Structure formats: structure tokens, C-alpha cells
Structure 1
């Protein structure tokens, strides 16, 4: 039965009968209650009316349809559907009990985790994602996230946006840190714009940092391997407190990201400063790109601009000239950073 294109009857859309089937019944009723099923274009609506019982084939001529009393059919359908609804309701109420032994078995399962007192180790991306989803969905007060890298896959963005909006509506605070490359990714910008409209705060930071999730200031999830195939789920209050301090340090140094298309000049300047500093330190291009969450093509574009500014033909010449004459904003950035930290190095980022 095709009930997907229901029309209006008496001012209300029923969703039970398609527009074509309704029109065919009305036309048959106006024609003395009979119509031919062999007419062009009536095969599908005729079959729909037959299935509902609104059409009855003539005994002498099966190709001729006779209309049935809709009131009688409506009463019969209502009774049948009510019985089905009651059966579904009873079935749904029995589901927890039916799955109780399965739930016990799942709870007793190893889950591919390794015991560690206040720290557990989740192994494999599916298990890690399942653990994170459970923690975030059950958050009561706050979720803090440091998410390095660039664009996030569209499928992930679509899956988490509604979840995060529901969290915000429940009064759960949401703060997220991305790397500047996230500003160039349309799906991430749309996600950020959506959640900031509902009260979330998002910033970007042009420096390397590790992935970090903190829920309700009670539990944290950090990588336990460089390939993110193993994660540590930390509940020790002292360690979680340290990770919160680390996150707040990142947050203080980051720049607001409301999801707008235009990238602020301050963001570009800080990103270029980080690139220059790492180049002067002799860090390889691939490592620079991975650390700052940008593509190697984007890095190459910035380096080409540096070569133009320094009138350098080769990378060796560029490195030599930058070492001899560092950009003013590079040295001033170092001074301001030392002043803001009281001359001491900042806290180490959580290591896996």
C-alpha cells in the first residue's frame, strides 16, 4: 500500500490513502460506484484500494471494481491497527527484561580494556568511540574537548551536532579547541556555527596539542598511542585535575572561533609564526604540517610566501636569512609568551 503521499480530507492529512487512490475512489463513487481497473494509469491506486478493502472486484467481471462502505472499512482498520499498536507496546515494555541476560553478559565482557585502577585502557577505535559517546551523552555539567587536526569527516559532524545541541539544551557547558586549519573546513565551520548559537564556546590554537576530552571534571580520555588505537580513560582526581589545568592553559592561548567564513588576521599571523619557529628549529615539513593540523600543500603555500618576502631562491637560503634576521613578530611573540608565563615554560601537554 502506498500511504506516503496522503492528501487532505476534512482539513486533516490522514497519511493512510495516497492522493491518486483517493481520487480514483471519488471518481468511481461519482460514476455509480463502479470503475474499470483496466483504465490507463489506475493500476497502482486500484491495487491500493483493493488492499484496504475499499474496492471489491465484481463477481462476474473481475476487471470491474465496486466501491465498499468507507465507514465499515475505517472501523475494521482502526480495530486492527489498535491491536497491532497494543502488541507493539507490550513488546516494547518487555524488551528490557528480554535483553537482561544479554546485558549482564555484555557488562561482564572484557570490552578489550585493561584494568589500571583509576585508569582503564580502551583498545580499538570502535571501542574508544563507544566509551566516549557514553561519557559525553551522560554528561551532567561540562564537556571540554581539545581536538587537533583539520577538517572532521562530514559523517561525524552530522552525527555529533544534534547530540551536542541536546547537551547544551540540558545546561551542559561545552568548550572545544581546534587547530586553525579547522577554520578552512566548511563542515566544521557549520558545526561550530550551530553549537555556538546554542551557547557552546569554540576556539583555535596554532600550536601542537594532544587530543583530550574531559567530562564533568571527573573523567578524562586521552590517547595512549600515537595512532589513537588505544585510549586511557582516567578517573584519578589528581590526574584529571592536571589535565583540566592543561586544557585551561590551551584555552587561554587560543582565539575565538564562532564558525565564520573569514579567518581573522591574528589567526593567520600566529600560524605563520609557529611555522617560522619550527622551520628555524629545523623541523621537517611533514612534521610541521602534522603538528599544526594543516595539509602539506597549505604549508608549501606559506613557505612560498616566506621565500618571496625574504627574496630567497632556495629553502637553504630562506633558512639562513631567517636565522640571521628573524621576523619582528616572531621575536615579539617569544617575549610576550615569556612574560605571560612569568619566564617559565608552560605546562607539558598530556602525553599518551
Structure 2
């Protein structure tokens, strides 16, 4: 028989009180005082299994032995006081500690807001690095605290900084509720090739964002009114960024966005342009020329001014038309015919 009668206040023990433990406890409770050795046979349990169950019940003090070594059922309410009481005390202590921490953080936040109010004015010369993984939190904080009216995005891809852009697009529903306008310009290949970016852009558009498409974007960018701009950190980790508040640089970055915006079209208009391009002989000749040079799909699409998806459809048709085994071979064969 397992020896100890010592109580056990570890709450994790309760998770091991299985169905057999309930059966054994009831058996002892119904019989008052029970000889230990008789129980396994009477309940049809193996000795090792019974011993394991008995050890649990003894540790919890749900069972104990009398002076003659017989098992006696203990009071569950006493067990509860032994286990739950210390837990409740810990909960109260943790709650008090959480309240103290919240008070400290509220005081710090008040200090932070006063500091941000002084430094959010247009003309601040600060440029700082944002560590990987905190960009979306800082952006949302800027928007919530800086009276931002408009968020501008240039989306060039989802690797590294592009993941942050997807998160910003995903925040559009909550931004719209705050009255924040969102305008985004996406490179055509981003919406063609990246399912996550396409989903985020679609969600943003349904939530009220204005999303347009261009064949090529100069680089990823987020601009918050005249307050700040976020760009990838050169030489930094993939998810790190730089926040810019300097007036001249902000004006330049906003100008870059507006230039893209003026040249961009809606996704539906881009689809129409792609449909027209499918029958354009000049488009096919330009694709052929770039194929001979060994250019990749994205490069060809940008130079021709169509989406990557349409470009690939042209290339597939060219390869099939001449029975070539590769894109490069198709280019040379078609060039020879011309």
C-alpha cells in the first residue's frame, strides 16, 4: 500500500482525479472503514492501478487511514479549504499587484501623452528606429493619439516590411470607425501573387479604404498625415522600420505617394487593361523582347505595364504556340520567326 497520508495543496493534483478515483472514494465512503487489501479485487482493479489511484486520494486527504490501517473517507470541504484557500489568497495578491502596476502604467501613459503632444507637431526633426515586431502597435498608437485623419500606403510586397503593411490594411475597419481615411497603392504583382496581401486589400476596400493598382511601386511606405512616415530600415532586420517626422522628408514622401496615386487605377480598371493587353500585338512583342533578355515575370510585367498574371498568360501562350521547352527558347524561336 502507498504509505503517505500527507496532505497536498498543489492544485494540479486535482486534474489527475479520474473516474477510478471517484469510484474508490465512493466505495470507501459507503463502507465507512475499509481494509485496503480487499478493495482492488472487489472493484475489479489491478493492484498497480489501484495503488496509483490511492496515492492521489491520500495526497489530497480525501482518504486517510485510522489507527488500524483501514481507509476512511475525508471531508471534501476540508480538502477544499486546504487547496482553494491558498489559491484564493494568491489570486487576491496577484490582483493587488496588477492594480498597482496599472496605476503605474497609467501615470507613465499620462507622461507619455504629454511628451507626444509636444513632439507630434509638424516640423519635428526626429528620425528613429522601430524594432522588429512592434511596428503595428506603434502605428496604431500614433493613429489613436495623434488625431490622424488619413493613412497613406505604398505596398511593394509582403516580405519583411510588407507584412506590416498587411497589418495596417487589416486594421482598416477599426480605423474607419474612428473616421480615419485610408488610401493604398499596391504593386500589381503584390495583388496577383500574394494571397495574404490580396485578402487584406480586399478587406480594407470593403471597410471603406481606397485601393488602387500600379504596375510598379518605388518602395513600401506608410504616411500618417503630416505627423510621421514609416519606411523599411536599410540594413536592418526584415520587420524593422524607421519613423520619420522631419518636415522636408515628410513632404517628399507624401509627394511620392501622390505621384503614385495619380498614376494608379482601381483593381477593376487594371483588370480591363489586362484584358485589352491580351490581344495587343505590341504588348506581345515587348514581352518577347524581354523574354530573350531572360527577364523575370515581375520585371516584364512592370516594364510592359500589365499585371504579373496577364504577363504569365502571354508567356504561356507564346511557349505553347512555338512548342518550346522553356521560356527563353520560346523567345529565341519567336524572335527568329520575326
Output the aligned Cα RMSD: 5.6
Name the structure 1 match of 2:214: 205
Name the structure 1 match of 2:62: 55
Question: In the alignment, is residue 27 of structure 1 matched against residue 23 of structure 2?
Answer: yes
Per the normalisation by structure 2, the TM-score is 0.56
State the shift of 1:49 in Å. 5.1
Name the structure 2 match of 1:70: 76
Counterparts of 1:179-328 in structure 2, within 5 Å, are 179-183=187-191, 184-195=193-204, 198-223=207-232, 225=234, 232-237=242-247, 239-251=249-261, 253-256=264-267, 264=271, 266=273, 285-286=295-296, 288-289=298-299, 292=302, 302-306=314-318, 315=331
Question: What is the alpha-carbon distance in structure 2 between the residues aligned to residue 55 and residue 151 of structure 1?
Answer: 58
After superposition, the C-alpha distances for 1:273-315 in whole angstroms (9 at most, x for unaligned) are 9997687689861595398599x99967643535667999753
Q: 1:178 aligns with which of 178, 186, 206?
A: 186
Question: What is the alpha-carbon distance in structure 1 between the residues aligned to residue 157 and residue 24 of structure 2?
Answer: 65
Question: Residues 307, 23 of structure 1: CA spacing in aligned structure 2 closer, same or farther, 3 A cutoff?
Answer: closer
How many aligned positions are there?
284
Q: What 5-or-longer segments of structure 1 have no aligned partner? A: 4-15, 105-115, 258-262, 323-352
Question: Residues 290, 79 of structure 1: CA spacing in aligned structure 2 closer, same or farther, 3 A cutoff?
Answer: farther
Is the 8 Å Cα contact of residues 208 and 291 (structure 1) preserved in structure 2?
no
After superposition, the C-alpha distances for 1:15-53 in whole angstroms (9 at most, x for unaligned) are x954x72634542343242766965656777666555x2
Name the structure 1 match of 2:116: none
Is the 8 Å Cα contact of residues 275 and 288 (structure 1) preserved in structure 2?
no
Question: What is the alpha-carbon distance in structure 2 between the residues aligned to residue 156 and residue 121 of structure 1?
Answer: 17
Question: What is the alpha-carbon distance in structure 1 between the residues aligned to residue 153 and residue 186 of structure 2?
Answer: 9
Work out which of the two has the higher radius of gyration on C-alpha atoms and give 1 or 2.
Answer: 2
State the shift of 1:270 in Å. 6.9
Per the normalisation by structure 1, the TM-score is 0.54
Question: What is the alpha-carbon distance in structure 1 between the residues aligned to residue 92 and residue 218 of structure 2?
Answer: 54
Name the structure 1 match of 2:154: 146
Question: Residues 227, 66 of structure 1: CA spacing in aligned structure 2 closer, same or farther, 3 A cutoff?
Answer: same
Q: Which has the higher strand share?
A: 1
Is the 8 Å Cα contact of residues 46 and 55 (structure 1) preserved in structure 2?
no
Name the structure 2 match of 1:79: 85
Question: Residues 129, 290 of structure 1: CA spacing in aligned structure 2 closer, same or farther, 3 A cutoff?
Answer: farther
State the shift of 1:148 in Å. 0.5
Question: What is the alpha-carbon distance in structure 2 between the residues aligned to residue 44 and residue 158 of structure 1?
Answer: 53
Is the 8 Å Cα contact of residues 205 and 250 (structure 1) preserved in structure 2?
yes
Question: What is the alpha-carbon distance in structure 2 between the residues aligned to residue 44 and residue 172 of structure 1?
Answer: 62
Question: Residues 248, 149 of structure 1: CA spacing in aligned structure 2 closer, same or farther, 3 A cutoff?
Answer: same
